[in-house]
Amino acid sequence: MAQTAGITQKLILLFLTTFLISQSSGAPQNINPSYSYAFTSCAKPIVRKEWRRLSVDERQSYTKAVLCLANPKKAASISEIGPGLRNRYDDFHGVHTLQTPNIHWVGHFILWHRYFIATFEKTLREVCNYRGAQPYWNWTIDVTSGRDMIEWPIFNNHSGFGGNGPYVDGDNPFDIPERSGGGCVPRGPFNYPDWVVHLGPGPSIDYNPRCLKRDFSRPIMNWVTPGLVHWVTNVTRYEDFAFRLENLPVFTSPNLHGAGHFGVGGALGEFGDVYASPGDPLFWVHHSTLDKIFWRWQQEDLPKRLFDVGGPVVPFDYSNQVGPNITLEFVIKLGKLAPEIPLRDIMNIRGGILCYDYEG
């Protein structure tokens, strides 16, 4: 029954999309006319589901596939970034580390991460025989539930990513409020030594094997509200959406991207480390949610938004003191993990080189 409803929903979606495009075809605006809408090439997208919509088996097959990517016998390192990288998961971590100074607080933040996640999802499927799609984590449901973070399904010891680390004292340079952990995640698929973070902290790509730490901060997680999601999406231009999604890197002003990173990673956890955050596999479910919000924003006015990009090439250069804005021809790279592509190729999640969609 739920399956049928999902399919119906997708058909309606496809219909609406086609309808909007045919409506607009008389007077294209902000659309490059050389592009043909390539939905036909992606008739059967893989469908990314919310974590709790997966069965326990499906959740475990996802986390098992992630563990497989970190097993050098099953998924060898190919990135040639350095001797500190020992497996394919490290390659993803290392590519993010090397590019961290160029992919945050820029116009292409959400698009670079879209390509990064899609490549990760493809690798899970091709290298580790994972049959599903990359899941996403709708934090709004958990934050508004009022339940303790430790009880959220995503942090389940058995069917999730495990929970918080035990409390340990430590530096808290950003004054993360009510930090509550900081120690090694004790249970779940990503406890030590089942899961070993190799790179970091920060920009280091040296071999530095250690446990995954988490340091929950409920007040930061509470940044996520339906009102904040609305504020981010209640804009008509891409550059405004992109700016609001990241917002200023300050702890006095809430932002969706930071809520997940610092709500879970706090002061001492990997997830709060802007370079080393992929060391925590929550990275993928959190960033997929941002991508879903982006896609939903695009869909609200597809003719205008499918190919709308903007915002600075250089981090924080919102008034172009240093460099230009991104364009559809702006090229992004993932090292040896995937071909270099212009942003144009990944504007549509159901066309060109991408073929996935979101349920819910």
Ligand X SMILES: *[C@@H]1O[C@H](CO)[C@@H](O)[C@H](O)[C@H]1NC(C)=O
Q: Which residues sit at the interface with ligand X, rule CB under 6 A?
A: 138, 140-141, 150-151, 157, 163, 186-187, 230-231, 234, 239, 289, 292-293, 310, 320, 324-325, 360
Closest CB to ligand X among 90 and 280? 280
**Smallest separation, CB 286 to ligand X (Å):** 11
Return the number of other C-beta atoms located less than 10 Å from residue 259's C-beta.
21
Beta bridge partners of 213: 184
Closest CB to ligand X among 286 and 292? 292
> Measured at the alpha carbon of residue 208, what is the angle toward residues 207 and 212, in degrees to the nearest 5?
130
Task: Report how far residue 309's alpha carbon sits from residue 191's, in angstroms, rounded to the nearest whole number.
Answer: 40
**Smallest separation, CB 187 to ligand X (Å):** 4
Hey, is 5 helix, strand or coil? Answer: helix
Closest CB to ligand X among 86 and 213? 213
> Between β-strands 354-358 and 350-351, what pairing exists: parallel, antiparallel or unpaired?
antiparallel
> Between β-strands 331-332 and 46-48, what pairing exists: parallel, antiparallel or unpaired?
unpaired
**Smallest separation, CB 341 to ligand X (Å):** 22
Task: Report how far residue 208's alpha carbon sits from residue 85's, in angstroms, rounded to the nearest whole number.
Answer: 10
Task: Report how far residue 219's alpha carbon sits from residue 217's, in angstroms, rounded to the nearest whole number.
Answer: 6
Closest CB to ligand X among 131 and 187? 187
Task: Report how far residue 111's alpha carbon sits from residue 353's, in angstroms, rounded to the nearest whole number.
Answer: 13
Closest CB to ligand X among 89 and 297? 297
> Measured at the alpha carbon of residue 343, what is the angle toward residues 231 and 250, in degrees to the nearest 5?
35
Closest CB to ligand X among 49 and 86? 49
Closest CB to ligand X among 102 and 208? 102
Closest CB to ligand X among 166 and 202? 166
* Among candidate residues 282, 153, 147, 159, the one with its CA nearest the CA of residue 213: 282
Q: What does residue 210 show for φ and ψ, rounded to 5 degrees? A: -165, 170
Beta bridge partners of 356: 46
Q: Which tokens hold the place of 195? A: 């899961």
CB-based contact 328:309 (threshold 8 Å): yes
**Smallest separation, CB 111 to ligand X (Å):** 16
**Smallest separation, CB 144 to ligand X (Å):** 8
* Among candidate residues 115, 119, 30, the one with its CA nearest the CA of residue 291: 115
Q: What is the DSSP letter of 4?
A: H
CB-based contact 79:95 (threshold 8 Å): yes
**Smallest separation, CB 157 to ligand X (Å):** 4
What separation in angstroms does the CA of 327 have from each of 33, 70, 96, 270?
Answer: 15, 35, 22, 32
Closest CB to ligand X among 151 and 329? 151
